[in-house]
Amino acid sequence: MSKRRLKFWGWGYEDQTLSEIQARQIAERISALTGLSPEGYVPPPKLSEIELSTPRLTPPCALESICSTSAYDRAAHTYGKSYPDYIRAYERDFSTAPDIVAFPETENQIIQLLDWADGAGAAVIPFGCGSTVVGGIEPVVGGGFRGALTIDMRRMAKVLEIDPTARAARIQAGALGPDLERQLKPSGLTLRHFPQSFEFSTLGGWIATRSGGHFATLYNHIDDLVESLRMIAPAGTVESRRLPGSGAGPSPDRLMIGSEGSLGIITEAWMRLHQKPTFRASSAARFTSFETATKAVRAIAQAGLWPSNCRLVDAEETKLAGAGDGSFHMVVLGFESSDHPVDAWMDRALECVRDLGGEFDTAGERDTTADAWRKAFITAPFKREGLISCGLMHDTFETSITWERLADFHVKVKTATEEVIQRTTGKPGHVSCRFTHAYTDGCAPYFTLHAQPTPGQEVCQWTEIKTAASDMLMREGGTITHHHAVGRDHMPWYSGQQPALIGDALAAVKDRLDPKGMLNPGVIVPLR
């Protein structure tokens, strides 16, 4: 475990906290770009300012050494990293803190923890690194429990085996992105799963939440990289076979993938790896029309070229990222291979761009516009606390939709979000969009919103905005989430999106694997 301590209230390590000056600079920059007016400054919370309730549970003696009831640990496991999480942390409200946080080092300890929780009447929250933006780990578990035990998996973080022939590795679920890659590095292999949360999320978290990663096409979700899984449920341990492919009944892995800690705790997985790429080509194309840019992404996604990067960033978001002046929409393109030069691939993709009137500079190993956007992408979550300190709302939501419905869908969702911001906050907001992933049959639009909420009414106003945007996603046939997961925040819409009988079926599965319903209650399977 690193000696650097994670912020208990926000993104990143404590030493990455913004100063007031930095926060104001970020807010002013966004203000200049969006027309919003930052107001005041609220410093992030200090641990000494937090009042936590007395733990309702006492760890058992046998497990005491791996359990903590310290204020830091309890506070750091209260929230994820959503906008309302920040607001409540800034309000010094940690009333939903878990009673105990456990850090198991072995599967056997997990089994003991589950046994103990069963007897103690505790709810159990499986926890990776807490980067959820959908309330996935907040111990809001209904009235049926005597308290909440959070199981933090980060001490189970080893790469246990590497198979260079099949290019696969057996990896413990608690491994953070950088640590996992560091352990793989000597083999020349890489998982190449780089969600925005890469530094602050774990393999187990990615699998449990169907994380979307590096690849804009083809292997979009972590789902496809899973060769087999091991999961501990209250009813016992589940382990699937290592198989490159199978046709033996409904996929057992696909039942566990996306279960968000509601069926069991994923402890390890055999993951499909890639050879480290040595050939690269990158470019950024510019389009004056958003619709034409979407056509280019569609053409490339349907061409069978499978670029690793093929992301449309609209003019507003390009400007926000410092990669443009707002006069063009950008399509970031990248190809990579460990096996062969990718020129033929990039040439054809750029032909698609040219056919649709897009402009681009000659493709190189790296592209500066694409680089600027990438940097903005990685640093965005860090900057968020600056905006929030200065009274601005910043949030993102994402979905997917088939191509033929996209144009109309995009306008409706963007407009509905702008309208609800105006109606709720009384001030115009700013809504931008990019596509994070592209498929042959559609794409994953990702919306970013900035608004200026009324001080003291942030959570309430955010809820109204979130509700209106989510209602529109559902009404127009999208998914409530493409890769942010369901958590507690998305449950009302997820329950509507899921065919009712599939909801019943998942409840039945939970009854078998987690008969007391103690695992992440209220997530995926509604509270009864």
> What CA dihedral angle connects 358, 362, 367 and 372, to 10 degrees?
-40
Any contact of residue 280 with its own copies (CB under 8 A)?
no
Amino acid at 276: K
Q: Give me the helix-helix angle, 458-475 and 83-90, nearest 10°.
A: 170
Tokens 């809001």 — which residue?
A: 140
Per the document, the length of the chain is 528
The interface region with its own copies, picked from 82-90, 239-247, 312-320, 378-386 by CB under 8 A, is 239-247
Asked if residue 508 binds its own copies (CB under 8 A), the reply is yes
Instruction: Please choose, out of 1-9, 11-19, 148-156, 507-515, the segment that lies near its own copies by the rule CB under 8 A.
Output: 507-515
State yes or no: residue 442 binds its own copies (CB under 8 A). Answer: yes
**Which amino acid appears at position 163 of this protein?**
D
Residue type, 451: A
Q: Does 296 bind its own copies (CB under 8 A)?
A: no
> Smallest distance from the beta carbon of 185 to its own copies, in angstroms?
19
DSSP letter assigned to residue 299: H
Q: Applying CB under 8 A, does 444 fall inside the site for its own copies? A: yes
Of 451 and 472, nearer to its own copies (C-beta) is 472
**Least distance to its own copies, CB of residue 296, Å:** 13
Taking residue 32's Cβ as centre, other Cβ atoms within 10 Å add up to: 9
Which one of 241, 354, 366, 375 is in contact with its own copies (CB under 8 A)? Answer: 241
Question: Is 243 an interacting residue with respect to its own copies (CB under 8 A)?
Answer: yes
- In the list 77, 384, 484, 516, the residue contacting its own copies (rule: CB under 8 A) is 484
Half-sphere exposure of 88 (CA within 13 A, CB side): 21
Residue of the chain from 76, 101, 480, 518 that contacts its own copies (CB under 8 A) = 480
For its own copies, the binding residues in 392-431 under the rule CB under 8 A are 400-404
* Burial 144-154, CB ≥16 within 10 A → b, else e: ebebbbbbbbb
d(CA 522, CA 528): 8
Task: Show contacts with its own copies in window 72-111 (CB under 8 A).
Answer: none
Rg (CA), the chain: 23
Site residues for its own copies, 160-179, by CB under 8 A, read: 163, 165-168
Segment near its own copies (CB under 8 A); pick from 12-20, 411-419, 425-433, 502-510: 502-510
Binders of its own copies in range 339-378 (CB under 8 A): 339-340, 344-345, 348
Binding segment for its own copies (CB under 8 A), chosen from 4-12, 116-124, 197-205, 240-248, is 240-248
Q: Are 406 and 445 in contact (CB under 8 A)?
A: yes
SS3 at position 236 = strand
Question: What angle in degrees, to the nearest 10, is found between the helix axes of 368-389 and 83-90?
Answer: 40
Per CB under 8 A, the list member of 61, 119, 248, 325 interacting with its own copies is: 248
Task: Decide if residue 254 touches its own copies (CB under 8 A).
Answer: yes
Binds its own copies (CB under 8 A): choice among 96, 457, 498, 527? 498
Burial string for 178-212 (b: 16+ CB within 10 Å, else e) reads ebbbebbeebebbbbbbbbbbbbbbbbbbbbbbbb
Q: Identify the residue among 52, 63, 235, 459 touching its own copies (CB under 8 A).
A: 235
What's the one-letter identity of residue 233? A
Pick the binder of its own copies from 481, 488, 519, 520 (CB under 8 A): 481
61 binds its own copies (CB under 8 A): no
Rounded least distance, CB 516 to its own copies, Å: 15
With respect to its own copies, which residue has the nearer C-beta, 24 or 348?
348
* Among positions 40, 143, 186, 250, the unique one binding its own copies when judged by CB under 8 A: 250
**Binding flag, residue 475, its own copies (CB under 8 A):** no
Of 68, 132, 150, 211, the one binding its own copies (CB under 8 A) is 211
| CB 431, min distance to its own copies, A | 21
Is position 331 an interface residue for its own copies (rule: CB under 8 A)? no
Bin 261: left if φ > 0, else alpha if -120 < ψ < 50, else beta: left
Residue 290, SS3 per DSSP? helix
Distance between CA atoms of residues 201 and 80, nearest Å? 11
In the complex, minimum distance from the CB of residue 275 to its own copies, in angstroms, rounded to a whole number: 7
Region from 19-27, 120-128, 150-158, 218-226 binding its own copies, contact rule CB under 8 A: 218-226
Give the number of residues in contact with its own copies, rule: CB under 8 A: 96
Cα–Cα distance list, 7 to 75, 78, 89, 381 (Å): 10, 12, 11, 13
Q: How far is it, in rounded angstroms, from Cα 151 to Cα 172?
A: 14
- For the bound state, the minimum distance from the C-beta of residue 270 to its own copies, rounded and expressed in Å, comes to 9
| Cα 176 from Cα 494, distance rounded (Å) | 28
Tell me: does residue 196 bind its own copies (CB under 8 A).
Answer: no
Residue 107 beta carbon to its own copies: minimum distance, rounded to whole angstroms: 15
Does the footprint of its own copies cover residue 240 (CB under 8 A)? yes
* Contact status, residue 171 vs residue 275, Cβ threshold 8 Å: no
Backbone angles phi, psi at 390, to 5 degrees: -95, 20
Nearest residue (CB) to its own copies, 184 versus 506: 506
Instruction: In whole angstroms, give the CA distance from residue 34 to residue 114.
Output: 49
